[in-house]
Amino acid sequence: MKSGYNGGKYERKIKKSSRCCACRRNDYGNACRCGEKKLDGTQTVATVNGTDIPMGVLSIMVRQSQAQAEAMYASLMGGGQAGYPIWESEAEGGGTYGEQAVEDSLKDLETLYILKEKAADYKVEVTEEDQKAIAEAASQFMKANSKETIETLSVTEDQIKTYLELRTYQMRMHDAIIAEVDTDIPDEEAQQSSFSYVSISTADLEEKDVEAKKKDAQKILDEMKKDPEADFDETVKSVSEDYNALEGTFDTNEKKEDKEEGEEDLTSSGYPEEVISVLRTLKDGEFAPDVIETDTAFYVVRLNKVNDPEATENKKTSILNEKQNEFYADTTGKWLEEAEVTVDKKVLKTLELKDNHKFLIGTTAEPTETPEASEEAAEETTAEDEILEPVEETEEEPTAAPESDAEETETEKAEEETAETTVTPEPTEEAEK
């Protein structure tokens, strides 16, 4: 039976196996609970078109994904993730987030094997030089970690090399696949208008406080009408230090039929329809004649440019990236659907993600002239560094200018602020009854 999608559910052939139980210790020296099974990285967790996937390769992939997810989660929560359950929480659709994460990682890993299989069709290869760099990185990874950590991961040096090779194929196949996407984005589709604004929130305020906020908004507008060339932000600050002048963009040629379901009150840019509809009536440099009132805020707005060239180019980049990502996902998804995939469910269940089982994974030393892994063998995994990387970095895609929300916060910097993270190894799951 081939794998495939049925009603949105990914179907794969499952076989069963039995495993013996063993205890182990984690990096903190805490003994395992009896009844837990020791992870066996040599076992075949799945096959893709006849190629076996060893558990050890899946283990290191899951750990890498886990470290990145925990680092991101911690940064968004304003610090360490202690006290916040992640992996053992119930997920939508049944099971825990940890179980879903393992399933998702396996599906991603199956895709990596298929990408390697398809590489010749795209004239993609991993060279001897690449293999040398991969071997060096794998060797350094093994040296960087204790015997206990390696045993917990249940990964061999050869499996690390396999994982790095697969990631290298993925990187190069991604570029080869998206090269088929038409890069021509019509100006009309991407054209952006830019504006400046201040939004004064009225959410959860009593009526008298709402009226006070409206007076502030009107005062800002009156001051700017007196001197349209005045600095908008300074004028805003002169009324209250609590307010800020912000910048935004919106689709110049957006049509109501372009909206998705549930967007009745918001434009595609995320701004209220009341705001954008007024902006569309203005010329370059004009302020809206009146304070704009929505259910949650008062707005004072100025249209900067009906046609903003820089914002339009950024939007083109964003549209192209979206098209490329969609094409890549559709292509690889079709390949996976057509592949002959079997999964050993019993083996898969031995890989667990738990909230209370943590250890540190040392990063690999960087091989000569390859950005392959992290910088020092003794260094701990950080939010910004992957545990392992392919032998060359993907060419960084230009990012589109973010569309400012009415009350925008810079969450993009969160990742950069996390100094280091612990990796929660999978306490091996008990034998399925």
Q: Select the more confidently predicted residue: 343 or 403.
A: 343
Report how far residue 232's alpha carbon sits from residue 245's, in angstroms, rounded to the nearest whole number. Answer: 6
Quickly state the pLDDT bin for 308 (edges 50, 70, 90): very high
Q: Which residue shows structure tokens 């690449």?
A: 130
Q: Among 93-107, 109-123, 366-380, name the one with the lowest average pLDDT.
A: 366-380
Using alpha carbons, select from 421, 361, 393, 385 the residue that is nearest to residue 140.
Answer: 361
Using alpha carbons, select from 422, 429, 432 the residue that is nearest to residue 99.
Answer: 429
Quickly state the pLDDT bin for 403 (edges 50, 70, 90): very low
Which tokens belong to 384?
């910004």
The long-range contacts involving 9-12, CB below 8 angstroms and separated by at least 24 positions, are 10/107, 12/46, 12/341, 12/342, 12/343
Highest mean predicted confidence (pLDDT) among 33-37, 70-74, 399-403: 70-74
Which tokens belong to 229?
């060339």
First to last CA, the chain: 25
Residue type, 145: N
Looking at residues 104-122, what average pLDDT do you find? 98
Looking at residues 20-46, what average pLDDT do you find? 56
Beta bridge partners of 247: 196
Report how far residue 316's alpha carbon sits from residue 301's, in angstroms, rounded to the nearest whole number. Answer: 25
Going from the C-alpha of 239 to that of each of 116, 179, 211, the distances in angstroms are 61, 52, 15
Q: What angle do CA 287, 288, 294 make, to 5 degrees?
A: 135
Domain edges within the chain: 4-182+317-417, 192-306
**pLDDT at site 93:** 83
**pLDDT at site 255:** 75
Q: Among 3-17, 25-39, 54-68, 161-175, name the one with the lowest average pLDDT.
A: 3-17
**pLDDT at site 176:** 98
Looking at the predicted structure, is the pLDDT value of residue 132 above 90? yes
Looking at the predicted structure, is the pLDDT value of residue 293 above 90? yes
Highest mean predicted confidence (pLDDT) among 28-32, 146-150, 293-297: 293-297
Looking at the predicted structure, is the pLDDT value of residue 40 above 70? yes
Q: Among 189-203, 276-290, 403-417, name the one with the lowest average pLDDT.
A: 403-417
**Is there a contact between 152 and 24 (Cβ–Cβ < 8 Å)?**
yes
Going from the C-alpha of 256 to that of each of 85, 157, 267, 276, 403, the distances in angstroms are 41, 56, 9, 12, 19
Q: Right CATH number for 192-306 from 1.10.405, 3.10.50, 1.10.3470, 3.60.21?
A: 3.10.50
Which tokens belong to 155?
């990964």
Q: What angle do CA 128, 388, 59 make, to 5 degrees?
A: 110
**pLDDT at site 36:** 52
Looking at residues 409-430, what average pLDDT do you find? 37
**pLDDT at site 56:** 98
**pLDDT at site 260:** 56
Mean pLDDT of the chain: 80
Residue type, 3: S
SS3 53: strand
Torsion of CA 368, 374, 57, 80, to 10 degrees: 180
Q: Select the more confidently predicted residue: 248 or 85.
A: 248
**pLDDT at site 121:** 98
Looking at residues 37-48, what average pLDDT do you find? 93
Which tokens belong to 213?
């906020």
Quickly state the pLDDT bin for 404 (edges 50, 70, 90): very low
Looking at the predicted structure, is the pLDDT value of residue 34 above 50? no
Which tokens belong to 318?
């964003």
User: 13-15 and 341-344: which strand pairing?
Assistant: parallel
- DSSP H stretches of helix in 26-121: 55-76, 97-118
SS3 303: strand
Q: Select the more confidently predicted residue: 12 or 106.
A: 106
Quickly state the pLDDT bin for 359 (edges 50, 70, 90): low
Quickly state the pLDDT bin for 127 (edges 50, 70, 90): very high
Looking at residues 271-276, what average pLDDT do you find? 96
SS3 289: coil
Using alpha carbons, select from 203, 131, 124 the residue that is nearest to residue 370.
Answer: 131
Q: Among 59-68, 104-113, 155-164, name the one with the lowest average pLDDT.
A: 59-68
Can you give the length of the chain in residues? 433
Report how far residue 78's alpha carbon sits from residue 74's, in angstroms, rounded to the nearest whole number. Answer: 6
Report how far residue 52's alpha carbon sits from residue 326's, in angstroms, rounded to the nearest whole number. Answer: 28
Which helix (DSSP H) or strand (DSSP E) does residue 317 occupy?
Answer: helix 309-338
**Is there a contact between 287 and 225 (Cβ–Cβ < 8 Å)?**
yes
Looking at the predicted structure, is the pLDDT value of residue 243 above 90? yes
Quickly state the pLDDT bin for 75 (edges 50, 70, 90): confident
- The model's pTM is 0.73
**Is there a contact between 181 and 320 (Cβ–Cβ < 8 Å)?**
yes
Residue type, 204: D
**pLDDT at site 197:** 98
